């Protein structure tokens, strides 16, 4: 595999150099990422090639010329490509079964001179390569830590995962000195109280905690203004802590390679639980933007259901192709016909309006006083989760692009029918996994 990947990298570099010559674009192609650092996982290599432009190049020209060179290189290679977006557009080429990201960036002399976030990457590559050249045995330790993070589901800084980037895991291994030492240290981490500063940029821990408010703080050795761990959510950090503690108690290969989940009787699971699904189309957006919108929609709809009187246990989302399924588990799919509604305190200026409203009708019982407030028992306007979701979707903005898709069309599935929200077998597997919500690495 190493030889195959090296060949793909060499062929892509030659194609990019040829494309830049033909187009008259002054650019340097440089390999970055886990391949350049030799910390990649077998079967999961990241091939990142940066097109480094002079800082004198206007940003619009960098973007335009970067895409032109990458597209021309794809033609030379006979490769497919897909345009994506990070801090600016880039192309992912499909070369002999491998994905190669071709990213335009500025060639700057210092991380303090960067014009966009991706400009830091060459400095990250240089720092890790130099550190690993001094301690070459740590490369396999890095691989162990990456596989561990992948196995427990926290590998990746993208919004969908909110976990640990490859660079962060490399820094942790370098800082602690081995996979085992990192796991032992992580078992003692505490959110909002853990600071790692590899190059000792800061002398005062309190200054760091005032400056960075994320659960885990790892100061970028090449740029003290940046917390490398800022994408790590408190849930991902705590999952890493819990898995580290569990691994130290009972080491197992399942932390690195989770076993295939047993087949669950999905229909039985759904019959015994209160689950609802909303199926709609996916807006065409960069993945991080898309998942930011999806998470906002899940929060907005969960909050709306709670306000309507439902108890929401959990929410989840699944996507594939052009399908998006939003999932919610509730305490119950229906509400009682009556609800207790609290009005203003008896000494409020609004009490007359409340009393008049319910004396005219709408109250099954009351108005009466409970404690210092007026109270009525009234009939609910919405009884089922389908009614509540339909009202929320029609009346609320749950995120600009997701709202547009929902307004164009959606389907609601309740109970056992939730299994039919998609015909994709991966959906049923993900649905069962979400319903069970038990980590494969947990042992009794």
3-state secondary structure the chain: CHHHHHHHHHHHHHHHHHHHHHHCCCCEEEEEHHHHHCCCECCECCEEEEEEECCCCCHHHHHHHHHHHHHHHHHHHCCEEEEEECCCEEEEEEECCEEEEEEEEECCCCHHHCCCHHHHHHHHHHHHHHHHHHCCCHHHHHHHHHHHHHHCCCECCCCCCCCECHHHHHHHHHHHCCHHHHHHHHCCCCCCCEEECCCCCCCCHHHHHHHCCCCEEEEECCEEEEECCCCCCHHHHHHHHHHHHHHHHCCCHHHCCCCCCCCCCHHHHHHCCEEEEEEEECCCCCHHHHHHHHHHHHHHHHHHHHHCCCCEEEEEEEEECCEEEEEEEECCCECCCEEEEEEEECCCCCHHHHHHHHHCCCEEEEEEEECCEEEEEEECCCCEHHHHHHHHHHHCCCCHHHHHHHHHCCEEEEHHHHHHCCCCHHHHHHHHHHHHCCCCCCCC
**Confidence band of 397 (pLDDT split at 50, 70, 90):** confident
**Confidence band of 264 (pLDDT split at 50, 70, 90):** confident
pLDDT of residue 242: 98
Report, at the CATH architecture level, how domain 135-255 is classified. Orthogonal Bundle (1.10)
Q: Is the pLDDT of residue 342 over 60?
A: yes
How does the average pLDDT of the chain come out, rounded? Answer: 93
Range in 85-94, 267-276, 307-316, 317-326 with the lowest mean pLDDT: 85-94
pLDDT of residue 267: 87
Q: Which fold does the domain 266-334+383-436 belong to in CATH?
A: Alpha-Beta Plaits (3.30.70)
| 84 vs 251: which has the higher pLDDT | 251
Q: Is the pLDDT of residue 444 over 60?
A: no
Q: Is the pLDDT of residue 280 over 90?
A: yes
Q: Mind listing the pLDDT tens digit for each residue in 371-384?
A: 999 999 999 888 99
**Confidence band of 263 (pLDDT split at 50, 70, 90):** low
Q: Is the pLDDT of residue 132 over 70?
A: yes
- The segment(s) of the chain belonging to CATH 3.30.460.10 are 2-118
**Confidence band of 83 (pLDDT split at 50, 70, 90):** confident
- The segment(s) of the chain belonging to CATH 3.30.70.590 are 266-334+383-436
pLDDT of residue 87: 76
pLDDT of residue 162: 96
Stretch 284-311: mean pLDDT: 92
pLDDT of residue 284: 82
Stretch 286-305: mean pLDDT: 93
pLDDT of residue 350: 87
pLDDT of residue 44: 84
Q: Mind listing the pLDDT tens digit for each residue in 418-439?
A: 999 999 999 999 999 999 988 9
Does the predicted TM-score (pTM) go above 0.75? yes
Q: Mind listing the pLDDT tens digit for each residue in 191-220?
A: 999 999 999 999 888 889 999 999 999 999
| CATH 3.30.460.10 for domain 2-118 | yes
pLDDT of residue 262: 66
Q: Mind listing the pLDDT tens digit for each residue in 145-198?
A: 999 999 999 999 999 999 999 999 999 999 999 999 999 999 999 999 999 999
């Amino acid at each position: 595999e190493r030889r195959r990947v090296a060949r793909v990298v060499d062929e892509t570099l030659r194609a990019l150099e040829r494309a830049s010559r033909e187009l008259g674009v002054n650019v340097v192609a440089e390999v970055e990422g886990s391949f350049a650092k030799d910390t990649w996982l077998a079967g999961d290599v990241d091939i990142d090639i940066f097109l480094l432009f002079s800082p004198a190049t206007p940003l619009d020209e960098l973007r335009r010329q970067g895409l032109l060179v990458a597209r021309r290189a794809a033609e030379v290679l006979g490769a497919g490509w897909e345009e994506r977006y990070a801090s600016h557009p880039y192309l992912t080429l499909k070369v002999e079964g491998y994905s190669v990201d071709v990213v335009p960036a500025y060639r700057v002399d210092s991380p303090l001179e960067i014009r966009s976030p991706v400009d830091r990457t060459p400095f990250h590559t240089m720092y890790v390569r130099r550190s690993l050249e001094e301690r070459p045995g740590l490369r396999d330790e890095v691989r162990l830590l990456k596989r561990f993070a992948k196995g427990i589901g926290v590998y990746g800084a993208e919004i969908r995962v909110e976990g640990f980037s490859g660079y962060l895991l490399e820094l942790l291994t370098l800082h602690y000195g081995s996979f085992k030492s990192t796991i032992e240290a992580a078992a003692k981490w505490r959110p909002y109280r853990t600071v790692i500063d590899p190059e000792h940029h800061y002398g005062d821990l309190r200054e760091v905690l005032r400056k960075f408010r994320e659960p885990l703080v790892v100061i970028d050795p090449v740029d003290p203004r940046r917390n490398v761990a800022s994408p790590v959510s408190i849930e991902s950090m705590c999952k890493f802590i819990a898995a580290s503690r569990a691994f130290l108690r009972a080491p197992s290969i399942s932390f690195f390679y989770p076993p295939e989940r047993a087949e669950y009787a999905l229909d039985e699971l759904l019959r015994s639980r209160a689950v609802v699904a909303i199926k709609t189309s996916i807006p065409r957006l960069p993945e991080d933007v898309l998942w930011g919108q999806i998470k906002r929609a899940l929060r907005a709809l969960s909050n709306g259901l709670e306000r309507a009187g439902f108890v929401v246990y959990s929410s989840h989302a699944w996507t594939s192709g052009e399908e998006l399924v939003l999932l919610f588990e509730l305490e119950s799919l229906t509400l009682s016909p009556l609800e207790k509604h609290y009005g203003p305190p008896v000494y409020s200026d609004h009490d007359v309006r409340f009393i008049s409203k319910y004396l005219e009708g709408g109250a099954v019982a009351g108005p009466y006083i409970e404690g210092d407030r007026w109270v009525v028992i009234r009939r609910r306007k919405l009884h089922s989760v389908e009614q509540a979701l339909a009202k929320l979707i029609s009346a609320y903005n749950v995120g600009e692009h997701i709202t547009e898709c929902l307004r164009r069309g959606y389907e609601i599935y309740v109970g056992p029918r939730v299994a039919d929200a998609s015909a994709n077998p991966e959906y049923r597997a993900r649905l069962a996994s979400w319903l069970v919500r038990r980590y494969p690495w947990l042992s009794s």
